[in-house]
Structure 1
Amino acid sequence: MPKQEFIEYFNKQNYSWKITEYEESDKFFGGGINLTNFKKGLDVETYDLEIVKDLPANFDARRKWSQCRSIKEIYDQGDCSSGFAFGVANTVSDRTCIHKGDHVHLSEQDFECMKKDVCFGGDPYQAFEFWIREGLVTRNCKPYNVRELKKNQCKEQCERNTIKYSEDKHYGLKVIEVPNDLDQIKAELFHQGPVQASFVLYQDFRDYREGIYEQKYGKYLGEQSVRVIGYGVYRDTQYWLVANSWGRNWGENGYVKVKMSQNIKFEEYMLTGRPK
């Protein structure tokens, strides 16, 4: 069946979401994450029943922490499997604003000094550890540049001479494993801010246009790392509110609602951190 016919057929079904055809869908790269190596046994912070019971049905971090500009940002990783870098850098940028009042956009580019082949993917846990151990500079120091990333060089210097690399570093205190429990994840989001999630990526996710995504078709493409900024419920379907890193022309202006508890392991591989 031609792609356009399939799109029309799919969108006529009584599904919770719609698809479309993107001109450059082959450039929507996964993060090259190996979920089998996911770090377990980290610090886990849980919330008691009273706190969980008082959570709202819908939550959006962009509204609660409206002063934090980073939470409202959508980025584009381009033709590079650097989703892990965006999932982590964007999450810790938000957390730095929420917990320290420091408005920063931390640099995905700086992970070139963690591993040379950033465009071949990476380990979110190691990225959080790099933030803790080595710190991350801001995008003002090292803006995202795919061409430079593909040179596989670590540049410990800022593009602008007015900023010193070592003085622009922002550090983390610890990395936290978010429990695989819907209420606990909601409580972490509501009380502490966005978290990073890694999940199994299929072809239909790249075709997502709007609605609440539930995996329906397509081949396995790898894994992707994203930033979860909230949650909600629509017609009895619970979902996560997610900021992806494929630009604003994809999905709902760069965002996607992901149905909870489906077969893409979305809740199983969540990490976050506390800034220093």
Structure 2
Amino acid sequence: MLRILLLGLLVVVSMQSPTGLSFNNQNEMIEYINSLEGITWKAGKNFDDSYNLEDIKRLMGVPQNQVVPDVEYSEPPEVDISEIPESFDSREAWPTCDSIKEVRDQGTCGSCWAFATVEAISDRICVASNGKQQVEISAEDLVSCCSSCGFGCNGGYPESAWSYYQHTGLVSGGLYGSKKGCRPYTIAACEHHTTGHLPPCGKSIEPTPKCQKQCIAGYNITYNEDKHYGSKTYHFSNDNQKLQADIMQNGPVVATYQVFEDFLSYKSGVYYHVTGPSAGYHAVKIIGWGVDNGVDYWLVANSWNEDWGDKGLFKIRRGRDDCGFEQQISAGLPKL
């Protein structure tokens, strides 16, 4: 749940790792990571020194030490696990689905839980309709109106978001400033990073937008007419073959995992936790998998815009449940 968010490895007076190492600032941590032999990923400076760890933790969008609201799950659809390829990329499998290629930006809001879910829903609508329905499901609608999902910009649960989509429905809505769909996102995209073309993110979480059950001026249908619904909600836990087969059949899914400070400095390669304490829990979208220099990985889209990491994406080691990444996978099917 990710989302969670945003980020940064900041200048912390003393960053303690599980092994007892400490760093005076993020540059020391980055230098340490890149000095290790045999490591499968590279670190770099993603965040400005003015951020501190507490700033970042407030952005982590999946609540800690909270009980996930009850969700009624269905059994996952039947899938064929006999022919799972070594690599798979949803962008290549469904090249006409524009939403799969998009990297969104949650801004200064702990809404990764909502972004990862509406991204996967948008993708799955396109996949299920064979590309005939291209829609961006609204993160604004989910963040602002789903009171059962959690706490809006202060965090929420992807599982509850899938259930809300199934039972209450969600309207369309594009990125900030896009004026696309019924309810586009109203929290500005911002630069979580040291360099970039966007204005810098704020140090405090934006207020959760008001739940407005109406479309923006000029949209040609009503809020209720624009609703999209799911037909079922389900999940996977350490069942990777069925998960892979489901992605191949139905499209991207949502993963919730624990973020450690070293992840915030990820630049390239296949990530696994090396050093630094926990920074919170995040939600992201799995779009595929592969093998990099003999290391199995998941291919994942973040919601911190394309300047973070590897053009907004990252790879994380597969089959090892690093950071609890394979324990809590949520998904659902659209009702077309």
Tell me the TM-score normalized by structure 2: 0.76
Deviation at 1:243, TM superposition (A): 0.4
Please give the residue correspondences for 1:44-123 in structure 2 after superposition, counting only pairs within 5 Å: 44-45=75-76, 51-100=80-129, 101-111=132-142, 112-115=144-147, 117-123=151-157
Shift in alpha-carbon separation, 1:3–1:178, aligned structure 2, 3 A: closer
Deviation at 1:192, TM superposition (A): 1.5
Which ranges of structure 2 fall in alignment gaps of 5 or more residues? 1-23, 174-180, 189-204
- The residue number in structure 2 matching 1:228 is 286
Shift in alpha-carbon separation, 1:195–1:2, aligned structure 2, 3 A: closer
Deviation at 1:33, TM superposition (A): 3.3
Shift in alpha-carbon separation, 1:110–1:132, aligned structure 2, 3 A: same
Aligned-residue CA RMSD (Å): 2.3
CA offset digits 1:161-200 (Å, max 9, x no partner): 3232111111111111124212111111112211111001
Which ranges of structure 1 fall in alignment gaps of 5 or more residues? none
Deviation at 1:145, TM superposition (A): 1.8
- The residue number in structure 1 matching 2:183 is 142
**Quick check: 2:284–2:301 contact (8 Å CA) kept in 1?**
yes
2:130 is the counterpart of 1:130? no
Amino acid at match of 1:119: C
The farther-off stretch of 255-264 and 158-167 is 158-167
Please give the residue correspondences for 1:231-250 in structure 2 after superposition, counting only pairs within 5 Å: 231-250=289-308
SS of equivalent to 1:146: coil
Mapped partners of 2:313, 2:120: distance in 1: 15
Amino acid at match of 2:247: L
Q: Give the number of the structure whose residues are more often helix, by fraction.
A: 1
Match of 2:212 among 147, 155, 174: 155
- The residue number in structure 1 matching 2:67 is 37
- The residue number in structure 2 matching 1:216 is 274
- The residue number in structure 2 matching 1:12 is 35
SS of equivalent to 2:291: strand
User: How high is the sequence identity, in percent, across the aligned residues?
Assistant: 33
Tell me the TM-score normalized by structure 1: 0.91
CA offset digits 1:28-70 (Å, max 9, x no partner): 632133486356772232657xx32311100000000111000
Q: How many residues are treated as equivalent by the alignment? A: 274
Deviation at 1:12, TM superposition (A): 2.8
Deviation at 1:24, TM superposition (A): 3.9
